[in-house]
Every structure is written in C-alpha cells, then in structure tokens.
Amino acid sequence: MRSLDDMLSASPWARELPDAERERIKASIVVRKVPARAYVCMKGEPVEHWIGVIDGLVKITCNGLCGKTTTFTGVASGGWLGEGSLLKKERRRYDVIALRDSRIAFMSRAAFQSLLDNNLAFNHFLLRHLNERLGQFIGMMEHERLLDIEARLARGLLSMFNPVLHPGIGRQLQISQEELGFLAGVSRQRVNRALRALAEAGLVRVEYGSVTVLDLEGLRNYGQ
C-alpha cells in the first residue's frame, strides 16, 4: 500500500462513505513515518487516535517486569488497531512498535467517534474486526495448550496473513525469525527449526529476513 487513499480504499467502511464524508474523515487523519524499532505509541499514554498501518509492519507488545517481552500480535499493511482502548476510554495498555520502516495513519478520536455514532457500515466493520481478533486470541490459547511448536508457528504466521485484519498484505512477509519467535512465544532457534519443517512441507519459502506463504490452506491445516 502506498498512500492513505489506498488504505481507505482497502477499508470496507471507508469505501462506502459519501465523498464529502470521506474527505472529512481523511482530513482528520495525520500520516507519520515511523522508522524500524521506533514506537508508534506507548503503554500508559492517553489514547487520542485510532491507528492504521498504511505500509510496513508493527507489533503490539508488552514488557514484563523481569525483562521479558512478548508480542500479542503483529499488524501488517492495511490493518487498524487501538479501537479497544478508544472504545473503553482508557490509557493505552500496550506498546506498539514498528518492526520495519512504516507509514502510520492516526485518526482523531473525534472522527472515530462520529463514525461510530453515525455509520452503520463502520459499526459492521468494527464488529467483524473485533470478532476476528477475538477468534485469534481464543485460538492462541487453544494452540498454546494443544499444538506442537511447528503448528503454533504455522498459526502465528496465519494470523499475519488474515485478509480481514490486514487487507494489504501480500504473500511475502518481511519479518525476522527473532520477531516470529516473540509472536509465537518460542525461541529463535526453535523458530528456525520450525520454519525449516514448514518449508520442507512445501507451505512456506524462507529467505533472508522474510517468509513467503506458498499454501495458506495447508498452513491452516498443519498439525490438524
């Protein structure tokens, strides 16, 4: 995705907005470039924006007290995040960090609220979005308890290729094995081994700094 316009065109709620309304929303959005490793927003901040990933990749993450860090989910090109904190009127609960140079859209709280109050398509979108997320997180518990690490990594990858949550993602994902480890909750060495297994099964292609999905359905069924 190249521009805010592309991003809005890929967002079902924005596609159906009347032109004037769409322009009004667009005017409420600030676009900022965030370099790799920089914060998009920080835990504890007051929440003033809904956040969209126009281009790039970010992670929603949290640092434990004992120096550990975990990634709850990645958000790729075309994805929106932060609606939870916006709806609950609370401070930001998690850090959002760019995994590579990214272009990020910040929609004002007022614009978000007016869409919420006036636009049925937007409400449908939010429900669908929240439902996909909920499914992902329930699935995560299931997988953590029931699946081996290869299958868990397969599901972790799959979450990144969810077309509802990240309409702009292609088949290739630029992400390091270390970050995949944070995402799937396993060590880097184990990610490396598991990736080889998935590649061996013909489901992905592994390259320097990236993973390409060859068989989405196969990934979904991996380890039944």
Partner DNA sequence: TCATTAAACGCGT
Partner DNA sequence: ACGCGTTTAATGA
Please state, in angstroms and rounded to a whole number, the distance separating the CA atoms of residues 70 and 171.
25
Question: Of 138-197, which residues contact DNA (CB under 7 A)?
Answer: 149, 176-178, 186-190, 192
* Beta strand 29-34 pairing with 172-174: unpaired
Nearer to DNA, 129 or 190 (CB): 190
Rounded distance between C-alpha atoms, residue 126 and residue 220, angstroms: 24
Rounded to an integer, what distance in angstroms lies between the CA atom of residue 11 and that of residue 4? 11
Footprint on residues 113-142 left by DNA (CB under 7 A): none
Tell me the C-alpha distance between 138 and 46, whole Å.
27
Comparison of 162 and 176: residue with beta carbon closer to DNA? 176
Residue closer to DNA, measured from CB, 189 or 221:
189
For residue 126, the tally of other CB atoms under 10 A from its CB is 19
Q: 3-class SS at 47?
A: coil
**Residue nearer to DNA on the CB measure, 69 or 131:** 69
CB of 133 to DNA, least distance (A): 25
Instruction: Tell me, by CB under 7 A, how many residues bind DNA.
Output: 15
Per-residue x/- mask for DNA, residues 28 to 67, rule CB under 7 A?
---------x------------------------------
Q: 92, 82 in Cβ contact below 8 A?
A: yes
Taking the least distance from each CB to DNA, the nearer of 162 and 212 is 212
Using DSSP, state whether 203 is helix, strand or coil: coil
Residues 203-222 that bind DNA (CB under 7 A): 206, 208-210
Binding site for DNA (CB under 7 A): 37, 149, 176-178, 186-190, 192, 206, 208-210
